[in-house]
Amino acid sequence: MSRVLLATRNQKKLVELRRILEAEGVSGVEVIGLADVPEFPEAPETGATFEENAVAKAADAAKATGLPAIADDSGIAVDALNGMPGVLSARWSGKHGDDQANLDLLLGQIKDVPDERRGAAFVSAAALVHPDGTEKVVRGEWRGTVIREERGTNGFGYDPIFVPEGETRTSAELTPEEKDADSHRGRALRLLLPELRKLAG
């Protein structure tokens, strides 16, 4: 059983990747998180793109632990905000990781934006960096619309205000399995499956 480090402290992301690997029949890889390895200094996410941040995070983790490491950087790109919050999604309100404040702010900012201009995409870049420094970086996108009020309690971040194309429910109203099948991070992580299968040997 080979190990791969998912460079996150977010338990939901760990569970999500394990669920995807299981659903895809990849059984020879154990996914561990940052809570399972000794602490190392983590650089702040100051990249201008999701890809830059994902690669930097995974490279730091691979270097510090000697394990192949996966990291993602994800966010919501709102058309009426020229693609922002983007890489700043998790700290849009100025407070890092305050999902409610970030979501409330976004709703307030686009309150006057008419329905036909409320398109958005969830975007995820995922990077796998090997201890020898070689890397693979991929991107998944999930188009949809930002609605005006929260609905649903699954998921996290901006899920309660995002209705994916072809859906009437928000991504916080989908089951975890439905979300994996379509979501930006699901798409990105599945694009890494060939690399993960190689690790499984």
What H or E segment, with its residue span, contains residue 178?
Answer: helix 176-182
Our CB check for a copy of itself shows the closer of 114 and 194 to be 114
What dihedral angle (degrees, nearest 10) is formed by the CA atoms of 106, 112, 115, 120? -30
CA separation for the pair 133, 131 (Å, rounded): 5
CA separation for the pair 158, 91 (Å, rounded): 12
Asked whether position 12 contacts a copy of itself by CB under 8 A, the answer is no
Rounded least distance, CB 42 to a copy of itself, Å = 13
Catalytic entry in 60, 72, 73, 180: 73
Q: Which of 80, 181, 191, 193 binds a copy of itself (CB under 8 A)?
A: 80
Piece of the chain touching a copy of itself by CB under 8 A; list 1-9, 84-92, 125-133, 188-196: 84-92
Piece of the chain touching a copy of itself by CB under 8 A; list 1-9, 40-48, 128-136, 182-190: 40-48
Instruction: Note whether 143 and 201 are within 8 A (CB).
Output: no
β-pairing, 29-33 vs 162-164, is unpaired
Binding annotation for substrate: 8-13, 74, 156-159, 179, 184-185
CA separation for the pair 30, 82 (Å, rounded): 39
Rounded least distance, CB 122 to a copy of itself, Å = 17
Count the site residues for a copy of itself by CB under 8 A: 27
Rounded least distance, CB 54 to a copy of itself, Å = 16
Is 98 one of the annotated active-site residues of the chain?
Answer: no
Asked whether position 92 contacts a copy of itself by CB under 8 A, the answer is yes
Please count the CA atoms within 13 angstroms of the CA of 28 that sit on its side-chain side.
10
Q: Which of 10, 42, 83, 151 binds a copy of itself (CB under 8 A)?
A: 83
**Rounded to the nearest 5°, which phi and psi values hold at 69?**
-130, 140
Rounded least distance, CB 94 to a copy of itself, Å = 2
- 150 to 39, 107, 159, 161, 168: CA distances (angstroms): 36, 9, 8, 5, 13
User: Active-site residues: which are they?
Assistant: 73
Site residues (CB under 8 A) for a copy of itself?
A: 44-46, 48, 80-84, 86, 88, 91-95, 104-105, 107-114, 117
